[in-house]
Structure 1
Amino acid sequence: MRASRAYAATALACTALALSAPAAPAAEGPGGVTVNPYSVHQGGTISIAATGCGHGGTVTSDAFSQVGLSAGIKGYASARIHDHAAPGHYDLTVKCSDDTMVATHRFTVLAGRGAHGGLGGSRGPSDTDVAVGAGLVASAALGGAIFVARRRDTPGGRT
């Protein structure tokens, strides 16, 4: 029972610590433009949000191809950074379709690609993996059969 109380106390402490940590805000620029993340690897994706473009607009930069900004009180866009974008600081420009606002925001492109972690079963086992698994199952079955056969041969079933 003491272990379960210790686990519960640890979980409660971790939850309290996680809830007390401030969330990392997205970098906000002039005109209500935010980018997330501020620093992104070559080939990565950056999310852009802008307030004040009720009818949508476009987002352009030298680091990615032009993307459309959705309409609404806060417009959103997502852009993929070019694989060949040189590392360094870049500016993006948000231009509303009704020409009410043009705003810029700076972000940073980092060298190299980020890790592609968490494949999560998206790749099946290779032929080698299947062969090793089948060999282990066969050897376990053979070992079990030998054990049962040897046990059966002894008088009384046990030694």
Structure 2
Amino acid sequence: MRRTVRLLTGTALAVATAGAIAAPAYGGDTGGLEVFPYTVVPGGDVTVNTAACGDGGTATGDASAVGAGHFTLAPTTHEGEAIGRFRVPPSAQQGTYEIDVTCAESEEGVTGDLVVTLSSERAPVHPRGSVKTGVGGALGTDPVQTAAGVAALAVAAAGGTWLLHRRARGDGI
């Protein structure tokens, strides 16, 4: 029993340690570049932020690898980070691109990856309009023609009912 407990405790400790080592550090990471969203479709907006430039630090970003050119990062009040935005051009090809940022004061640089994909995980688009089946729609949407069609159906239904009533009474047609 003791041996099993030691084995399970050792395994749990090893998994927890490996998870802590392999987990990405976002909150306290002062030397990295965060790219959000990490995966984007062509034409999408991307936000880039870093704390590598220090409090009040500005930076210049380079997204020319994906075809977006240069952009600026301005300081924010959130934990001394600098933030910038750019738009991925609609002509961007699928792949992984490196985004570079250089701090203005220290000339220190950080990089991050951006993945461009051609499939979108956006909300589904619902179809609009009529279905071309070849049935119906001959009269169009004109209210006068619609009223005439309804009147013709009403007359046909009334006439059919009258004829069935006469036949049931034995009067013949």
TM-score norm. by structure 2 comes to: 0.48
The answer on 1:59 being equivalent to 2:66 is no
Distance change (3 Å), C-alpha of 1:27 and 1:90: farther
Count of residue pairs brought into register by the alignment: 124
The answer to whether the Cα contact below 8 Å between 1:57 and 1:69 also exists between their aligned partners in 2 is yes
Distance change (3 Å), C-alpha of 1:115 and 1:89: closer
Read off the aligned partner of 2:84 and give its amino acid letter: A
| Residue number in structure 2 paired with 1:150 | none
Return the alpha-carbon distance in structure 2 between the equivalents of residues 39 and 27 of structure 1: 19
- Segments of structure 1 that go 5 or more residues without pairing to the other structure are 1-25, 119-134, 140-159
Read off the aligned partner of 2:99 and give its amino acid letter: L
The structure whose Rg is larger is 2
Distance change (3 Å), C-alpha of 1:85 and 1:49: same
| Residue number in structure 1 paired with 2:85 | 78
Read off the aligned partner of 2:61 and give its amino acid letter: V
Deviation at 1:101, TM superposition (A): 2.3
| Residue number in structure 2 paired with 1:108 | 115
Deviation at 1:85, TM superposition (A): 1.8
Read off the aligned partner of 2:89 and give its amino acid letter: H
Please list, as runs of the form range in 1=range in 2, the aligned pairs for 1:107-146 lying within 5 A after superposition. 107-110=114-117, 112=118, 114=120
Give deviations 1:23-63, integer Å, cap 9, x for gaps.
xxx99588231111101111111111111323211110211
Distance change (3 Å), C-alpha of 1:33 and 1:47: same
Return the alpha-carbon distance in structure 2 between the equivalents of residues 89 and 30 of structure 1: 23
Distance change (3 Å), C-alpha of 1:92 and 1:27: farther
Q: Percent identity?
A: 23
Give deviations 1:62-94, integer Å, cap 9, x for gaps.
111211001241111111012222210100001
Q: Greater shift after overlay, 69-78 or 89-98?
A: 69-78
TM-score norm. by structure 1 comes to: 0.52
Determine helix, strand or coil for the equivalent of 1:31: coil
Determine helix, strand or coil for the equivalent of 2:93: coil
Structure holding more strand per residue: 1
Runs of 4+ in 1 over 4 A off after TM superposition: 26-30, 113-118
The alignment yields a C-alpha RMSD, in angstroms, of 4.4
Read off the aligned partner of 2:100 and give its amino acid letter: T
